[in-house]
Structure 1
Amino acid sequence: MARELRIPKALAALPAPVRWLAPPVALTCAVVALLGSWSSAASDVEAPRPTGRAAEHCRALAAALPQELLGRQRQDLSPASPYVAAWGDAPRTVLRCGVERPEELNGEHAADWSPTVDDVTWWSQKLDDGGYRFVTTMRAAYVEVTVPKGAARNPFDPAAALTPVVKANIPG
Protein backbone atom coordinates (compact mmCIF):
# COMPACT_ATOMS: atom_id res chain seq x y z
CA MET A 1 0.00 0.00 0.00
CA ALA A 2 1.47 3.33 -1.02
CA ARG A 3 1.91 6.04 1.57
CA GLU A 4 0.66 9.47 0.71
CA LEU A 5 3.18 12.30 1.11
CA ARG A 6 1.73 15.14 3.15
CA ILE A 7 2.91 18.61 2.21
CA PRO A 8 2.49 21.39 4.79
CA LYS A 9 -0.18 23.92 3.79
CA ALA A 10 2.35 26.77 3.59
CA LEU A 11 4.38 24.85 1.02
CA ALA A 12 1.34 23.56 -0.83
CA ALA A 13 0.29 27.16 -1.52
CA LEU A 14 3.52 27.77 -3.45
CA PRO A 15 3.70 26.96 -7.17
CA ALA A 16 5.21 23.53 -7.89
CA PRO A 17 8.44 24.85 -9.52
CA VAL A 18 9.19 26.92 -6.40
CA ARG A 19 8.63 23.91 -4.14
CA TRP A 20 10.88 21.74 -6.30
CA LEU A 21 13.69 24.28 -6.72
CA ALA A 22 13.83 25.67 -3.18
CA PRO A 23 15.85 22.79 -1.58
CA PRO A 24 18.54 22.60 -4.30
CA VAL A 25 18.89 26.41 -4.38
CA ALA A 26 19.20 26.58 -0.59
CA LEU A 27 21.78 23.78 -0.60
CA THR A 28 23.78 25.45 -3.39
CA CYS A 29 23.80 28.78 -1.53
CA ALA A 30 24.99 27.07 1.65
CA VAL A 31 27.82 25.31 -0.18
CA VAL A 32 28.91 28.53 -1.93
CA ALA A 33 28.90 30.42 1.38
CA LEU A 34 30.90 27.68 3.07
CA LEU A 35 33.47 27.46 0.27
CA GLY A 36 33.74 31.24 0.20
CA SER A 37 34.50 31.38 3.91
CA TRP A 38 37.13 28.65 3.56
CA SER A 39 38.88 30.26 0.61
CA SER A 40 38.95 33.72 2.17
CA ALA A 41 40.37 32.32 5.40
CA ALA A 42 43.03 30.35 3.57
CA SER A 43 44.04 33.04 1.10
CA ASP A 44 44.70 35.83 3.58
CA VAL A 45 48.27 34.61 4.16
CA GLU A 46 50.82 36.30 1.92
CA ALA A 47 53.50 33.87 0.82
CA PRO A 48 57.06 35.21 1.01
CA ARG A 49 59.32 34.96 -2.04
CA PRO A 50 62.80 34.15 -0.76
CA THR A 51 65.65 33.73 -3.22
CA GLY A 52 68.99 31.93 -3.34
CA ARG A 53 70.17 30.10 -0.24
CA ALA A 54 67.25 31.39 1.86
CA ALA A 55 64.80 29.71 -0.56
CA GLU A 56 66.76 26.44 -0.35
CA HIS A 57 66.72 26.53 3.45
CA CYS A 58 62.99 27.34 3.50
CA ARG A 59 62.16 24.43 1.18
CA ALA A 60 64.15 22.10 3.47
CA LEU A 61 62.24 23.49 6.46
CA ALA A 62 58.90 22.97 4.68
CA ALA A 63 59.74 19.30 4.06
CA ALA A 64 60.62 18.79 7.73
CA LEU A 65 57.64 20.57 9.34
CA PRO A 66 55.36 18.40 11.49
CA GLN A 67 51.84 17.38 10.46
CA GLU A 68 50.68 18.14 14.00
CA LEU A 69 51.68 21.08 16.19
CA LEU A 70 50.57 21.06 19.82
CA GLY A 71 47.61 18.83 19.02
CA ARG A 72 46.49 20.84 15.98
CA GLN A 73 46.58 19.32 12.49
CA ARG A 74 48.41 20.94 9.60
CA GLN A 75 46.06 22.60 7.12
CA ASP A 76 46.51 23.03 3.39
CA LEU A 77 46.44 26.64 2.28
CA SER A 78 45.35 27.95 -1.08
CA PRO A 79 47.32 28.84 -3.03
CA ALA A 80 49.87 26.34 -1.80
CA SER A 81 53.39 27.59 -1.12
CA PRO A 82 56.49 25.80 0.15
CA TYR A 83 57.14 28.89 2.27
CA VAL A 84 53.90 28.86 4.29
CA ALA A 85 52.42 26.31 6.70
CA ALA A 86 49.43 26.47 9.05
CA TRP A 87 48.06 24.38 11.90
CA GLY A 88 44.51 24.44 13.20
CA ASP A 89 41.69 26.31 11.55
CA ALA A 90 40.14 29.09 13.60
CA PRO A 91 42.31 30.49 14.99
CA ARG A 92 45.29 28.99 13.22
CA THR A 93 49.02 29.23 13.79
CA VAL A 94 50.90 30.24 10.63
CA LEU A 95 54.59 29.81 9.80
CA ARG A 96 56.12 31.80 6.93
CA CYS A 97 59.73 31.21 5.92
CA GLY A 98 61.81 33.69 3.98
CA VAL A 99 60.05 36.82 5.19
CA GLU A 100 61.83 40.15 5.04
CA ARG A 101 63.61 41.38 8.16
CA PRO A 102 60.92 43.13 10.25
CA GLU A 103 61.29 46.91 10.10
CA GLU A 104 60.39 47.03 13.79
CA LEU A 105 63.79 45.53 14.61
CA ASN A 106 65.30 48.88 13.63
CA GLY A 107 63.15 50.95 16.02
CA GLU A 108 61.90 51.01 19.56
CA HIS A 109 60.66 47.41 19.34
CA ALA A 110 64.17 46.05 18.79
CA ALA A 111 64.54 45.65 22.55
CA ASP A 112 61.23 43.77 22.97
CA TRP A 113 61.24 40.36 24.63
CA SER A 114 63.30 37.94 22.51
CA PRO A 115 63.48 34.51 24.10
CA THR A 116 66.19 32.08 23.01
CA VAL A 117 65.37 28.39 22.83
CA ASP A 118 68.15 25.93 21.98
CA ASP A 119 70.26 28.66 20.31
CA VAL A 120 67.34 30.02 18.24
CA THR A 121 66.32 33.57 19.17
CA TRP A 122 62.71 34.56 18.54
CA TRP A 123 61.97 38.30 18.45
CA SER A 124 58.40 38.80 19.63
CA GLN A 125 55.73 41.36 18.92
CA LYS A 126 52.27 41.60 20.48
CA LEU A 127 49.65 42.14 17.77
CA ASP A 128 46.64 44.44 17.97
CA ASP A 129 44.25 41.44 18.02
CA GLY A 130 45.88 40.03 21.18
CA GLY A 131 47.99 37.47 19.33
CA TYR A 132 51.75 37.40 18.85
CA ARG A 133 54.25 37.33 16.02
CA PHE A 134 57.61 35.63 16.55
CA VAL A 135 60.49 36.04 14.07
CA THR A 136 63.83 34.27 14.20
CA THR A 137 66.90 36.47 14.25
CA MET A 138 70.51 35.74 13.34
CA ARG A 139 69.58 32.89 10.94
CA ALA A 140 70.18 32.38 7.20
CA ALA A 141 66.45 33.06 6.57
CA TYR A 142 63.87 34.82 8.69
CA VAL A 143 61.12 32.51 9.92
CA GLU A 144 57.90 34.08 11.19
CA VAL A 145 55.33 32.31 13.38
CA THR A 146 52.03 34.11 13.95
CA VAL A 147 49.98 32.88 16.88
CA PRO A 148 46.52 34.50 17.09
CA LYS A 149 44.83 34.96 20.44
CA GLY A 150 43.38 31.62 21.51
CA ALA A 151 45.50 29.48 19.16
CA ALA A 152 47.70 28.21 22.00
CA ARG A 153 47.59 28.12 25.78
CA ASN A 154 50.84 30.09 25.89
CA PRO A 155 51.44 32.19 22.75
CA PHE A 156 55.13 31.24 22.65
CA ASP A 157 54.46 27.48 22.71
CA PRO A 158 54.18 27.04 18.89
CA ALA A 159 57.46 28.89 18.25
CA ALA A 160 59.18 26.90 20.99
CA ALA A 161 57.81 23.62 19.58
CA LEU A 162 59.08 24.54 16.09
CA THR A 163 62.55 25.50 17.32
CA PRO A 164 64.24 22.11 16.73
CA VAL A 165 63.07 21.88 13.11
CA VAL A 166 64.01 25.52 12.47
CA LYS A 167 67.45 25.01 14.01
CA ALA A 168 68.03 21.85 11.93
CA ASN A 169 67.09 23.51 8.61
CA ILE A 170 67.88 27.21 8.88
CA PRO A 171 71.55 27.71 9.83
CA GLY A 172 72.51 30.43 12.29
Structure 2
Amino acid sequence: MPVVAVLLTAAGCSSDDDSAAVTPPSPHKAVTKLCRNLDKALPKTVDGLARRDPAPASALTAGWGSPAVILRCGVQRPPKMTDPDVPQGKDPDALAGEVNGVGWLMEKQGDGAHRFTTANRAGYVEIRVPGDRDSSAALVDLAAAVKKTIPEGIAD
Protein backbone atom coordinates (compact mmCIF):
# COMPACT_ATOMS: atom_id res chain seq x y z
CA MET A 1 0.00 0.00 0.00
CA PRO A 2 2.81 2.54 0.71
CA VAL A 3 4.07 2.10 -2.88
CA VAL A 4 0.69 3.21 -4.26
CA ALA A 5 0.72 6.30 -2.02
CA VAL A 6 4.21 7.21 -3.24
CA LEU A 7 3.17 6.79 -6.89
CA LEU A 8 0.06 8.93 -6.41
CA THR A 9 2.13 11.62 -4.70
CA ALA A 10 4.72 11.57 -7.45
CA ALA A 11 2.05 11.71 -10.16
CA GLY A 12 0.47 14.73 -8.51
CA CYS A 13 3.79 16.55 -8.52
CA SER A 14 4.92 15.70 -12.03
CA SER A 15 6.03 18.37 -14.44
CA ASP A 16 3.12 17.38 -16.69
CA ASP A 17 0.66 18.76 -14.13
CA ASP A 18 -0.36 22.04 -15.75
CA SER A 19 -3.24 22.90 -13.43
CA ALA A 20 -3.20 26.44 -12.15
CA ALA A 21 -2.55 27.40 -8.54
CA VAL A 22 -4.47 30.44 -7.33
CA THR A 23 -4.67 32.17 -3.96
CA PRO A 24 -8.35 32.46 -2.96
CA PRO A 25 -9.43 35.95 -1.84
CA SER A 26 -10.53 36.63 1.76
CA PRO A 27 -13.71 38.73 1.48
CA HIS A 28 -16.04 39.51 4.36
CA LYS A 29 -18.92 37.14 5.18
CA ALA A 30 -21.62 38.76 3.00
CA VAL A 31 -19.43 38.71 -0.12
CA THR A 32 -18.31 35.15 0.62
CA LYS A 33 -21.97 34.10 0.55
CA LEU A 34 -22.45 35.82 -2.84
CA CYS A 35 -19.31 34.10 -4.15
CA ARG A 36 -20.54 30.69 -3.04
CA ASN A 37 -23.78 31.33 -4.95
CA LEU A 38 -21.76 32.39 -8.00
CA ASP A 39 -19.69 29.20 -7.81
CA LYS A 40 -22.88 27.11 -8.01
CA ALA A 41 -24.12 29.11 -11.02
CA LEU A 42 -20.91 29.06 -13.08
CA PRO A 43 -21.02 27.35 -16.48
CA LYS A 44 -19.32 24.01 -17.11
CA THR A 45 -17.52 25.53 -20.10
CA VAL A 46 -16.12 28.97 -20.89
CA ASP A 47 -14.99 29.80 -24.43
CA GLY A 48 -15.36 26.09 -25.21
CA LEU A 49 -12.98 25.14 -22.36
CA ALA A 50 -13.99 22.61 -19.70
CA ARG A 51 -14.01 23.64 -16.06
CA ARG A 52 -10.77 22.72 -14.26
CA ASP A 53 -10.66 24.47 -10.91
CA PRO A 54 -7.28 25.62 -9.59
CA ALA A 55 -5.64 24.43 -6.40
CA PRO A 56 -6.35 24.86 -3.59
CA ALA A 57 -10.04 23.98 -3.99
CA SER A 58 -12.24 26.94 -3.05
CA ALA A 59 -15.73 28.21 -3.83
CA LEU A 60 -14.04 31.60 -4.37
CA THR A 61 -12.01 30.46 -7.39
CA ALA A 62 -12.74 28.63 -10.64
CA GLY A 63 -10.86 27.84 -13.82
CA TRP A 64 -11.43 26.63 -17.36
CA GLY A 65 -8.90 25.08 -19.75
CA SER A 66 -5.13 25.19 -19.83
CA PRO A 67 -3.64 27.73 -19.80
CA ALA A 68 -6.59 28.56 -17.60
CA VAL A 69 -9.17 31.28 -17.66
CA ILE A 70 -9.25 32.01 -13.91
CA LEU A 71 -12.10 33.52 -11.91
CA ARG A 72 -11.61 34.88 -8.37
CA CYS A 73 -14.61 36.15 -6.44
CA GLY A 74 -14.33 38.56 -3.52
CA VAL A 75 -11.15 40.33 -4.62
CA GLN A 76 -10.28 43.85 -3.53
CA ARG A 77 -11.19 46.84 -5.70
CA PRO A 78 -8.41 47.34 -8.27
CA PRO A 79 -6.46 50.57 -7.70
CA LYS A 80 -7.04 51.67 -11.31
CA MET A 81 -10.79 51.57 -10.75
CA THR A 82 -10.60 54.61 -8.49
CA ASP A 83 -7.19 56.17 -9.17
CA PRO A 84 -7.71 59.94 -8.73
CA ASP A 85 -4.43 60.68 -10.55
CA VAL A 86 -5.67 59.20 -13.84
CA PRO A 87 -8.56 60.96 -15.58
CA GLN A 88 -11.41 58.57 -16.46
CA GLY A 89 -10.71 56.79 -19.74
CA LYS A 90 -7.14 58.14 -20.06
CA ASP A 91 -5.18 55.05 -18.93
CA PRO A 92 -4.28 52.99 -22.03
CA ASP A 93 -3.83 49.87 -19.89
CA ALA A 94 -7.22 50.14 -18.13
CA LEU A 95 -10.51 50.47 -19.98
CA ALA A 96 -14.12 50.27 -18.80
CA GLY A 97 -16.86 48.49 -20.70
CA GLU A 98 -19.97 46.37 -20.45
CA VAL A 99 -20.74 42.87 -21.67
CA ASN A 100 -24.29 41.51 -21.49
CA GLY A 101 -25.29 43.85 -18.66
CA VAL A 102 -22.15 43.42 -16.54
CA GLY A 103 -19.72 46.32 -16.21
CA TRP A 104 -16.01 45.49 -16.28
CA LEU A 105 -12.67 47.21 -15.82
CA MET A 106 -10.18 45.67 -18.27
CA GLU A 107 -6.48 45.85 -17.44
CA LYS A 108 -3.72 44.66 -19.74
CA GLN A 109 -1.16 42.55 -17.90
CA GLY A 110 2.57 42.47 -18.57
CA ASP A 111 2.44 38.87 -19.80
CA GLY A 112 -0.17 39.63 -22.49
CA ALA A 113 -3.13 38.43 -20.42
CA HIS A 114 -6.15 40.58 -19.60
CA ARG A 115 -7.65 41.01 -16.14
CA PHE A 116 -11.30 41.97 -15.91
CA THR A 117 -12.93 43.11 -12.65
CA THR A 118 -16.65 43.67 -12.24
CA ALA A 119 -17.82 47.22 -11.60
CA ASN A 120 -20.97 48.37 -9.82
CA ARG A 121 -21.59 45.00 -8.13
CA ALA A 122 -21.94 44.13 -4.42
CA GLY A 123 -18.70 42.11 -4.68
CA TYR A 124 -15.74 42.27 -7.02
CA VAL A 125 -15.25 39.35 -9.40
CA GLU A 126 -11.96 39.10 -11.27
CA ILE A 127 -11.42 37.11 -14.44
CA ARG A 128 -7.93 36.58 -15.85
CA VAL A 129 -7.84 35.56 -19.50
CA PRO A 130 -4.56 34.37 -21.04
CA GLY A 131 -3.34 36.47 -23.97
CA ASP A 132 -3.98 33.70 -26.51
CA ARG A 133 -7.68 33.41 -25.59
CA ASP A 134 -10.71 35.40 -26.76
CA SER A 135 -11.52 37.49 -23.70
CA SER A 136 -14.90 38.59 -25.07
CA ALA A 137 -16.06 34.96 -25.28
CA ALA A 138 -15.12 34.39 -21.62
CA LEU A 139 -17.00 37.51 -20.50
CA VAL A 140 -20.09 36.56 -22.52
CA ASP A 141 -20.07 33.04 -21.05
CA LEU A 142 -19.70 34.30 -17.46
CA ALA A 143 -22.01 37.34 -17.56
CA ALA A 144 -25.27 35.49 -16.84
CA ALA A 145 -23.89 33.82 -13.70
CA VAL A 146 -22.48 37.12 -12.41
CA LYS A 147 -25.76 38.97 -13.09
CA LYS A 148 -27.78 36.23 -11.37
CA THR A 149 -25.70 36.00 -8.18
CA ILE A 150 -23.77 39.24 -7.60
CA PRO A 151 -26.34 42.06 -7.30
CA GLU A 152 -25.73 45.56 -8.57
CA GLY A 153 -24.37 47.91 -5.95
CA ILE A 154 -21.14 49.23 -4.54
CA ALA A 155 -18.77 46.71 -2.93
CA ASP A 156 -17.14 47.59 0.36
For residues 87 and 19 of structure 2, what CA distance do their matches in structure 1 show?
A: 29
1:156 to 129, 136, 153: 136
For 1:84 and 1:74, the matched residues in 2 are separated by: 11
Between structure 1 and structure 2, the one with the greater Rg is: 1
Q: Identity rate of aligned residues, in percent?
A: 36
Q: What is residue 71 of structure 1 aligned with on the other side?
A: 48
Specify the alignment match of 2:57 in structure 1. Answer: 80
User: Which stretches in structure 1 are left out of the alignment for 5+ residues?
Assistant: 1-27
Distance in 2, matches of 1:141 and 1:162, equals 15
Cα distance in 1 between the residues matched to 2:87 and 2:68? 25
Select the structure that is richer in helix: 1
Whether 2:113 is the aligned partner of 1:131: answer yes
CA distance in 2, matches of 1:37, 1:167: 38
C-alpha distance in 2, partners of 1:118/1:33? 41
Superposed displacement of residue 109, structure 1: 8.0
CA distance in 2, matches of 1:76, 1:136: 20
Q: Matched residues in 2 for 1:74 and 1:59: separation? A: 16
Report the Cα offset of residue 121 of structure 1: 0.4
Contact map agreement 1:39 1:78 (CA 8 A) in 2:
no
For residue 22 of structure 1, what is the aligned residue in structure 2?
none
Normalising by the residue count of structure 2, what TM-score does the alignment of the two structures yield? 0.79
Q: What CA RMSD, in Å, does the superposition of the two structures yield over aligned residues?
A: 2.2
Q: What runs of 5+ residues in structure 2 fail to find an aligned partner?
A: 1-6
Q: Alignment partner for residue 143 of structure 1, among 108, 125, 130? A: 125
- Structure showing greater relative contact order (alpha-carbon pairs closer than 8 Å, 6 or more residues apart): 2
Could you state the TM-score of these two structures normalised by the residue count of structure 1? 0.72
* Displacement over 3 Å in runs of 4+: 31-34, 36-41
